[in-house]
Structure 1
Amino acid sequence: MLPTVFSVAGTILFFNNVALAQQSLASLQSIQSAQAVTVAVTPPKLSDGTAKVAITNTDMFPHIVFVQIFNKNAKKTPVAEISTTVKPFETLKLDAKPQVPKAVFESGLQWVTYQDIGDLGPAVKDNHFQLPFAPNTKVRVCQSADGPQTTHGGEKIDAVDFCVAEKTPIVAARAGVVIAVVQHFTEGGMNPALLLKANTIRILHRDGLISVYSHIYTNSATVKVGQQVQQGQQIALEGNVGYSSGPHLHFEVLEGQAKLNSQQTLFHLVPIRFFNKNNNEIKIKHDTHYTADGLTSSPGASQSK
């Protein structure tokens, strides 16, 4: 049987069972990705009680791929799983060992594949970032983990909002390669319909972490997908596009993981460690002003985003 294929905001899902597809599709509507999917996963083939899967990546970027295999009579609990990073232009052939008796496993298979641009990377990450603005720029932290949560909280607790004038230059907080540029949206405000309409740039770093810069000004990106960028290089201008109450930069750092999180994605946010040009750590605090070189700070004006 040929699989049913869905594409959800750039993330492709392969199914050989329509009911399973609809169930998984409903929980994936919020996934946002800017790139066309170029990863192919062959249907699992049984051999001596083992499901053999081939994964081919024809993209210029690595992809995280997570495959769940189900018995046709037990649709909610996978009997085998595969998770891996597939390098650019690589084909992997992997075996999934079922956690059920061979006869049960071979009575019929269903499967679902989740994938997105990313890299599981090493276990220890180089979580060092500079503030994402040009030197001498004065910014205010208007939402962070230590203060009131107006639009973060939950999965987004470790994101940081920086409030600064519209069209302020934004720079790469670490060197890496640009994997997504979305800059065509024009509207901003507190309408929930704008939640998935924030102009965004994503940069993949050498250890697999991804820095995300959201609410950028329309058509202000100075980088393109596939471009290598250096720390401190301008990438866009700050804006007020998407679900936003005023001009600010929403900054977060994602880490790939081998299984889906509670939001049904392959990434989770990690606490961000900022360092100044002297390599001293900056302790980010809510409602505090900083210069972008991280050398000075002062209390803010008791406002919040």
Structure 2
Amino acid sequence: MKTKILIFFLFFQISLFAQKRDVQVYREFVDGKTIVYADNNEFCPVSVVIRTELVNMKSSLKKAFVLVPAQTKKFAVTELTVIDKTKKVSFKYQSSFFLGNIDLRKYDINFPYELPYNKGEEYLIGQGYNGTISHQNEFALDFIMPIGTEILASRDGIVVDVQDKNSGNCVQKECAEKNNFIVVYHEDGTFAEYTHIDTNSAMVKKGDSIKTGDKIALSGNVGWSSGPHLHFFTFAPDIEKGRISIKSKFRTKGKKLEFLEEKESYLKE
């Protein structure tokens, strides 16, 4: 019996996801079945999306993706079995990877984030949610601050991506590929990205568990940037867009919990 096997690995080039994910998908023949496995070497769960084209075979998949836990080896993604052993068999599958759960629907929308800088400091929101410069249809915040300002974690989590080797900046969108950033995974399945950090300034690495208030980097002016600032946003993964940004409430003066507004300054008490 001749079996045709075609394997494709598709990587989505969307900001955070521009780097190749440390995930491997492969198949083995076990007791007459073809089992597709995944090794997830990332530090958060990964959604492995599988698309199959089968001839005289059936898949055990119940939906289009499987959520593979962090730091997991040989996780069974699907089993492919022959329907009629007397007929020709062939299959092909495509796999693509997303950090986090692309089916995430519930998360803590009222979580109290801390301002990402030291107590006693105050910074202006140069561009807020749905800003006209580069935040169209995105819930992101630009804290205007000098290069070298200490960036603090706004929430507990696990560091899942670090890029701080780039330098230079420009105002063209293409320069987003040169952004420096730190991405943190939260316990409710959401992520936060701290962007435009200074070159070689990261104080954390992939896999580090961090607490609110930990120093993680220095602010910069790297990538798609017209001036020194920290670009901050939280998001959930999405199969079509790569990610969907989420509004974040911050503790401000008097421990007030609120959404930050463009052109307003916020003092961290």
**TM-score normalised by the chain length of structure 2:** 0.79
Q: Say which of 97, 115, 129 aligns to 1:115.
A: 97
Shift of 1:243: 0.8
SS state at 2:174 partner: helix
Given the superposition, is the C-alpha separation of residues 162 and 70 from structure 1 closer, same or farther in structure 2, using an over 3 Å criterion?
Answer: farther
Give unpaired runs (5+ residues) of structure 2: 56-61
Asked whether the 8 Å contact 2:114–2:251 carries over to 1, the reply is yes
Q: Say which of 119, 128, 133 aligns to 1:144.
A: 128
**Equivalent in the alignment of 2:59:** none
Counterpart-to-counterpart distance in 1, 2:104 and 2:255:
22
Q: Does 1:205 align with 2:186?
A: yes
> What does residue range 164-203 of structure 1 map to in structure 2 within 5 Å?
164-203=145-184
Q: Say which of 225, 230, 233 aligns to 1:252.
A: 233
SS state at 2:178 partner: coil
Counterpart-to-counterpart distance in 2, 1:181 and 1:289:
28
Shift of 1:29: 3.7
Given the superposition, is the C-alpha separation of residues 86 and 159 from structure 1 closer, same or farther in structure 2, using an over 3 Å criterion?
Answer: same
Aligned length: 255
**Equivalent in the alignment of 2:21:** 37
* Structure with greater strand share of residues: 2
Shift of 1:52: 5.4
Given the superposition, is the C-alpha separation of residues 71 and 153 from structure 1 closer, same or farther in structure 2, using an over 3 Å criterion?
Answer: farther
**Amino acid in the other structure paired with 1:149:** T
Given the superposition, is the C-alpha separation of residues 111 and 44 from structure 1 closer, same or farther in structure 2, using an over 3 Å criterion?
Answer: farther
Q: Does 1:236 align with 2:217?
A: yes
Counterpart-to-counterpart distance in 2, 1:162 and 1:194:
19
Shift of 1:62: 2.7
CA shift digits 1:103-140 (9 cap, x unpaired):
9xx97533221114335697532342112111121111
**Amino acid in the other structure paired with 1:271:** K
Give unpaired runs (5+ residues) of structure 1: 6-12, 14-23, 73-78, 294-305
Counterpart-to-counterpart distance in 2, 1:159 and 1:42:
37
Given the superposition, is the C-alpha separation of residues 221 and 283 from structure 1 closer, same or farther in structure 2, using an over 3 Å criterion?
Answer: same
Counterpart-to-counterpart distance in 1, 2:250 and 2:15:
27
Counterpart-to-counterpart distance in 2, 1:195 and 1:164:
19
Shift of 1:225: 1.6
Given the superposition, is the C-alpha separation of residues 195 and 206 from structure 1 closer, same or farther in structure 2, using an over 3 Å criterion?
Answer: same
**Amino acid in the other structure paired with 2:195:** S
**Amino acid in the other structure paired with 2:250:** F
Asked whether the 8 Å contact 1:176–1:229 carries over to 2, the reply is yes
Which structure 1 residue ranges, 4+ long, deviate > 6 Å from structure 2?
none
SS state at 1:195 partner: helix
Asked whether the 8 Å contact 1:30–1:196 carries over to 2, the reply is no
Given the superposition, is the C-alpha separation of residues 284 and 44 from structure 1 closer, same or farther in structure 2, using an over 3 Å criterion?
Answer: farther
CA shift digits 1:26-71 (9 cap, x unpaired):
xx344544766332223598x99x9853323244443222222245
Asked whether the 8 Å contact 1:65–1:86 carries over to 2, the reply is no
Q: Does 1:68 align with 2:51?
A: yes
Asked whether the 8 Å contact 1:69–1:81 carries over to 2, the reply is no
**Amino acid in the other structure paired with 1:139:** Y
RMSD, aligned CA: 3.5
Shift of 1:282: 2.0
**TM-score normalised by the chain length of structure 1:** 0.70
**Amino acid in the other structure paired with 2:99:** I
**Equivalent in the alignment of 2:118:** 134
Q: Does 1:53 align with 2:53?
A: no
